[in-house]
Amino acid sequence: MKPLNFKRNPNLVEEITESLSADPLLNDFFMKHDISTETIENSLNDLLLYKQQRPLCDGCAGLHECKQDTRGMQPVLRYNKGKISIAYQPCAYLKAKESHNRDMNRITALHMPKMIYEASLEDFHMHTKNRKNLYQKIIALTNQFSKGETIRGLYLHGRYQIGKTYALAAIGNRFSELGFNVVIAYYPDLVREMKSAIGAGTLESDISQLKTADVLLIDDIGGEAFSRWVRDEVLGPILQYRLLDERPTFFTSNLPIDELVKSMLESNQEAEMIKGYRILERIKRLSEPFNLKE
């Protein structure tokens, strides 16, 4: 809006000043700061611009329909050292988006679908007692951990396509909202990635990332093709580190926890059984089984 010159028309100045003072929002601003008529007259351009732009935010349903020149920036009036000026600040929708983006920067998703970034406890199905119990557990665990308490994660198991991955992602997003760095990984693809990391020279750093994340979420453990090397040289050390360092670890699986060991054995030889059950024991100490149902 091009600045207007009101000096040559005193009658117009008086008319506009009265019109601005009749606006309830502007009148409250004038009264709050005990602003004189002279100050109002010296600030007509900013006040008129504010009066023109402010209504554009009324009834707005989100950034997708923002009518301001700069999306998400709403006009506000400032009063400082006897002068009125217009300024712009992020609206509630833009603040929410920026907050969400900061949360997402705290989440590292390894081989996971994009939908995990949108998973939310607010969208979680709450129509059964089972799901309500899970919701309550998640809220309790995240709140306890945010207070510095040590917690066990969850081992979510249940039949195929019942929402385990979505629930796991919602857990990760909840932790990220509370300021924690989260790694969520699809385990079958992670197994393949770890094997290729040997040739790429990134194995040590990849394992370190999984060890040291504030919260680690492993999706579909037990769904991968068996690898003794991954079990003994990758998964075992990661779980042991997190167990000793008391870092929350969550899992999903199609298998009940006591059946998981079968996917980690190459044979029924005693040495194999010991290694498999050692992994199982770490998972049990890190997480509480929860059977996710309809």
For residues 273 and 284, the answer to whether their CB atoms sit within 8 Å is: no
Burial of 149 (C-beta count, 10 Å sphere; 0-12/13-18/19+) = exposed
Residue 13 contacts by C-beta under 8 Å, 6 or more apart in sequence?
6, 41, 44
Helix (H, G, I), strand (E, B) or coil at 74: strand
Query: What number of helices (H) and strands (E) belong to the chain?
Result: 12, 8
- Beta carbons within 8 Å of 63's beta carbon, 6+ residues apart: 71, 72, 93, 94, 97
Q: Beta 73-80 vs 83-90: how paired, if at all?
A: antiparallel
The SS3 of residue 249 is strand
Question: Does the predicted model carry a pTM greater than 0.85?
Answer: no
- Copy the structure tokens of residue 189: 């693809």
- Among 46, 95, 54, smallest CA distance to 74 is for 54
> 69-115 pLDDT, tens per residue?
888 888 999 998 889 999 888 888 777 776 665 555 557 777 666 66
Amino acid at 239: L
Report how far residue 90's alpha carbon sits from residue 70's, in angstroms, rounded to the nearest whole number: 10
| Predicted pLDDT of residue 4 | 54
Confidence of residue 126 (pLDDT cuts 50, 70, 90): low
Contact in structure between 177 and 214 (CB atoms under 8 Å): no
Residue-wise pLDDT tens digits, 134-148: 999 999 999 999 999
* 280 — pLDDT class (breaks 50, 70, 90): very high
Coil vs helix vs strand at 103: helix
Q: Are 153 and 142 in contact (CB under 8 A)?
A: no
pLDDT, tens digit, 9 for 90 and up, residues 12-59:
778 888 888 888 888 898 899 998 888 888 888 888 888 889 888 888
Report residue 249 as tokens.
């670890």
pLDDT score recorded for residue 153: 97
Q: Whole-angstrom Cα distance, residue 166 to residue 58?
A: 35
Domains of the chain: residue spans and CATH? 10-91 (no CATH), 106-291 (3.40.50.300)
